[in-house]
C-alpha cells in the first residue's frame, strides 16, 4: 500500500506545484485545482487518514524514520483533505483576485499589483486612495472567504477535533497556547525599543508621528524606497550568483534550480520558489524591479530553492514534499537577513554609508515580526470557534496594538494563512537567529564567504524535510527554539 501511495503522492505534489507555478508566473490566467484534486482524491479521504493514524499508533516511536514517515504522510493527507473540502471556493477566490482591478489615474491596476503601487507611491494621500480602493475590492470577496473558513472548520470537526486549532496543534505537535505566551512576552519586551525607533524612522522618512500612522504607511515605510538606488534591478542576479559562489555553490551549473526571470504581465510581483520535482526541478521565480525589498524577497526564495535543490534524490517522497514549514523558512530567512549585514552590503553592493539603512531595515523587520505575532494570536482565537462575531474588530485591535499603525477591518479574512503558517514564520525567525550565530561562531563572522559553511548547509539541506525545525536545532546543538535571542538582537541593535 505504502509504495503505491508514495508514487501517487509524489505525482500529486508535482502536478499541484506545477499548476501554482504556471499561474503565479503569469503563464496561466486561472488556478485550476479541481481536476487535480479529483484525480488524486483517494489520497486524502477520511479512511486514509484513519489508516495512517492507526499505522502511526502501531509504529514504535524508537523506529524513528518509519514513525516520521507515517507522520509526514498523515500530515499531508489531513492538509489535503482540508483543502479538498474548500477547493472550489479556493479557485473562486483566486480567480476573483486575479481578475480584480483598481482604476487609478486612467489606468487599471491588478489587485495583486496594488501593494506594489502603494509601496512605490511617495504621496500619502495617493497611497491612502489606492489602499481604500483595494480594501473595497478585498471586502467584496469576504463572503467567499467566510464560507471557505466555515468549510474548513466543519472539516476539522468531521475529523473528530474540537476545532481547527486543536486539529493543527495535534497534527504539528505544537502547543499554540504556549507559543502565544512566548509571543506576548516578545511583544512586551520589544515594545519600548520598537516605539522609540519606529517613531524616529517615521518622523525622519515620512514626516509622520507614530500615533498618526496607518497600515498604508507601514506598507510604504517597509519598502524603504529612499534607499532603492543602492539596490539596482540589473544587479540582482549578479548578487545572488556571487553570494552563492562564496558558499561554493555555482548557480550556473545547477541545472535543477532554474531562475525564471522572464517578464510576463500577470506574473507575481514578488519572488517565489516552486519546488515542482524535488530535487530535479526547482523554479526560482523573480520579476526584478530593484529596491531592498526586492533583494530581500529574492534572497529569501533563494534560501528555499537551495534547500530543495540540495535535498537527496533518494529521500522518501514524504521527506521531500511534506515537512515542518518552519525549517525551510529558517533557511529562507538566513539569506533574507544578508541585506542587514554591514560587510555583505559593502562587499556585494559597495553600499558603505549604510548605518541609517541597517537601522531602518531592522525596525521594519521588528514591525513584521510583531505583526505576525499579532496575526498568530488572532488566528488562534478565530479558529478556536465557529463564529465570526467581532472577528474583524479583534483583528484590527490586535494589529494596531502590535504594530502601532492604525489597521482597519477589511483584511480580517484576507490576512490569513491556512494551517497556521504564521506560526512557522515565527518559529523560523527564532531559529534563524540561532543558526546565524552558530555559523558566525563556527565558520567566521563572514560565513557567507565560507565554502566550509556552504558544505555544512548542503549537509543539512541534504536531509530535505526529514526533520522538523526543533529536531534540526537539537541536532546542530542549538537547544530548544525560543525567542530570547531574537529579543536580545533587537534590543541590542536598536538601543
CATH code where residue 479 lies: 1.10.1370.30
In this prediction, residue 113 has a pLDDT band, given cuts at 50, 70 and 90, of confident
- Pair (20, 106) in one structural domain: yes
- Pair (163, 214) in one structural domain: no
- Pair (17, 139) in one structural domain: yes
> How many Cβ atoms are within 10 Å of 123's Cβ, its own excluded?
10
Residue 372 has pLDDT above 90, yes or no: yes
Mean pLDDT value of segment 68-87: 95
- Pair (239, 253) in one structural domain: yes
- Pair (13, 99) in one structural domain: yes
Mean pLDDT value of segment 204-214: 96
Mean pLDDT value of segment 99-115: 89
Q: What is the pLDDT of residue 33?
A: 85
pTM, whole model, 2 decimals? 0.95
Residue 111 has pLDDT above 90, yes or no: no
- Pair (485, 345) in one structural domain: yes
- Pair (145, 183) in one structural domain: no
Residue 488 has pLDDT above 90, yes or no: yes
- Pair (76, 217) in one structural domain: no
Q: What is the pLDDT of residue 432?
A: 98
Residue 216 has pLDDT above 80, yes or no: yes
Q: Give the mean pLDDT of the chain.
A: 95
- Pair (167, 215) in one structural domain: no
- Pair (200, 252) in one structural domain: yes
Please give the Cα distance from 382 to 168 (Å, whole number). 14
* Domain closes at, from 172, 190, 212: 172
How many domains does the structure of the chain reveal?
2
Q: What is the pLDDT of residue 457?
A: 98
- Contact assessment for residue 53 and residue 74, using Cβ atoms and an 8 Å cutoff: yes
Grid coordinates standing for 444? 567566521
* Domain closes at, from 172, 196, 224: 172
Please give the Cα distance from 491 to 493 (Å, whole number). 6
* Domain closes at, from 172, 207, 222: 172
In this prediction, residue 120 has a pLDDT band, given cuts at 50, 70 and 90, of confident
- Pair (188, 320) in one structural domain: yes
- Pair (227, 98) in one structural domain: no
As beta bridge partners, residue 102 has 109
- Domain with 130 in it: 2-172
Backbone angle region of 208, left / alpha / beta, with phi > 0 → left and psi within -120 to 50 → alpha: beta
Residue 112 has pLDDT above 80, yes or no: no
Residue 1 has pLDDT above 80, yes or no: no
CA angle 58, 63, 68 (to 5 degrees): 80
DSSP-assigned letters across all residues of 138-173: HHHTHHHHHHHHHHHHHHHHHTT-S-HHHHHHHHHT
Amino acid at each position: 500500500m505504502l509504495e503505491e501511495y508514495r508514487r501517487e503522492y509524489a505525482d500529486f505534489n508535482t502536478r499541484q506545484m506545477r499548476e501554482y507555478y504556471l499561474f503565479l508566473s503569469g503563464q496561466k490566467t486561472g488556478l485550476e485545482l479541481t481536476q487535480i484534486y479529483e484525480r488524486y482524491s483517494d489520497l486524502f479521504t477520511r479512511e486514509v487518514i484513519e489508516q495512517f493514524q492507526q499505522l502511526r499508533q502501531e509504529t514504535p516511536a524508537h523506529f524513528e524514520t518509519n514513525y516520521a514517515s507515517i507522520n509526514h504522510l498523515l500530515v499531508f493527507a489531513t492538509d489535503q483533505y482540508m483543502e479538498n473540502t474548500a477547493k472550489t471556493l479556493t479557485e473562486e477566490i483566486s480567480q476573483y483576485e486575479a481578475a480584480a482591478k483598481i482604476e487609478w489615474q486612467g489606468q487599471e491596476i491588478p489587485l495583486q499589483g496594488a501593494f506594489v503601487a502603494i509601496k512605490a507611491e511617495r504621496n500619502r494621500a495617493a497611497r491612502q486612495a489606492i489602499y481604500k480602493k483595494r480594501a473595497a475590492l478585498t471586502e467584496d470577496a469576504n463572503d467567499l472567504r467566510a464560507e471557505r473558513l466555515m468549510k474548513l472548520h466543519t472539516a476539522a470537526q468531521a475529523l473528530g477535533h474540537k476545532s481547527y486549532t486543536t486539529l493543527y496543534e495535534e497534527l504539528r505537535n505544537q502547543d499554540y497556547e504556549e507559543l502565544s505566551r512566548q509571543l506576548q512576552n516578545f511583544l512586551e519586551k520589544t515594545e519600548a525599543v520598537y516605539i522609540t525607533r519606529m517613531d524616529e524612522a517615521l518622523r525622519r522618512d515620512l514626516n509622520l508621528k507614530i500615533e498618526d500612522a496607518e497600515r498604508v504607511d507601514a506598507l510604504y515605510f517597509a519598502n524603504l524606497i529612499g534607499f532603492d538606488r543602492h539596490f539596482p534591478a540589473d544587479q540582482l542576479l549578479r548578487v545572488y550568483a556571487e553570494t552563492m559562489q562564496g558558499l561554493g555553490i555555482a548557480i550556473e551549473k545547477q541545472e535543477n534550480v532554474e531562475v525564471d526571470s522572464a517578464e510576463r504581465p500577470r506574473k507575481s510581483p514578488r519572488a517565489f520558489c516552486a519546488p515542482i520535482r524535488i530535487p530535479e526541478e526547482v523554479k526560482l521565480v523573480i520579476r526584478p524591479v530593484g529596491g531592498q525589498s526586492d533583494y530581500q524577497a529574492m534572497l529569501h526564495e533563494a534560501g528555499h530553492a537551495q534547500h530543495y535543490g540540495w535535498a537527496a534524490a533518494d529521500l522518501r517522497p514524504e521527506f521531500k514534499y511534506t515537512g515542518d514549514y518552519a525549517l525551510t523558512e529558517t533557511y529562507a530567512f538566513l539569506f533574507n537577513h544578508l541585506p542587514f549585514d554591514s560587510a555583505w552590503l559593502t562587499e556585494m553592493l559597495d553600499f558603505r554609508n549604510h548605518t541609517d539603512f541597517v537601522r531602518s531595515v531592522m525596525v521594519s523587520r521588528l514591525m513584521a515580526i510583531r505583526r505576525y505575532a499579532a496575526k498568530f494570536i488572532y488566528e488562534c482565537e478565530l479558529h478556536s470557534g465557529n463564529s465570526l462575531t467581532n472577528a474583524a474588530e479583534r483583528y484590527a485591535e490586535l494589529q494596531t496594538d502590535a504594530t502601532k499603525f492604525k489597521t482597519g477591518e477589511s483584511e480580517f479574512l484576507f490576512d490569513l494563512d491556512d494551517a497556521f503558517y504564521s506560526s512557522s514564520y515565527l518559529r523560523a525567525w527564532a531559529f534563524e537567529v540561532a543558526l546565524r550565530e552558530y555559523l558566525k561562531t563556527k565558520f567566521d563572522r563572514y560565513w557567507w564567504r565560507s565554502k566550509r559553511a556552504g558544505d555544512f548547509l548542503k549537509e543539512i539541506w541534504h536531509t530535505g524535510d526529514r526533520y522538523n525545525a526543533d529536531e534540526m536545532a537539537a541536532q546542530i546543538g542549538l537547544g530548544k527554539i525560543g525567542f530570547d535571542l531574537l529579543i536580545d538582537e533587537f534590543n541590542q541593535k536598536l538601543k
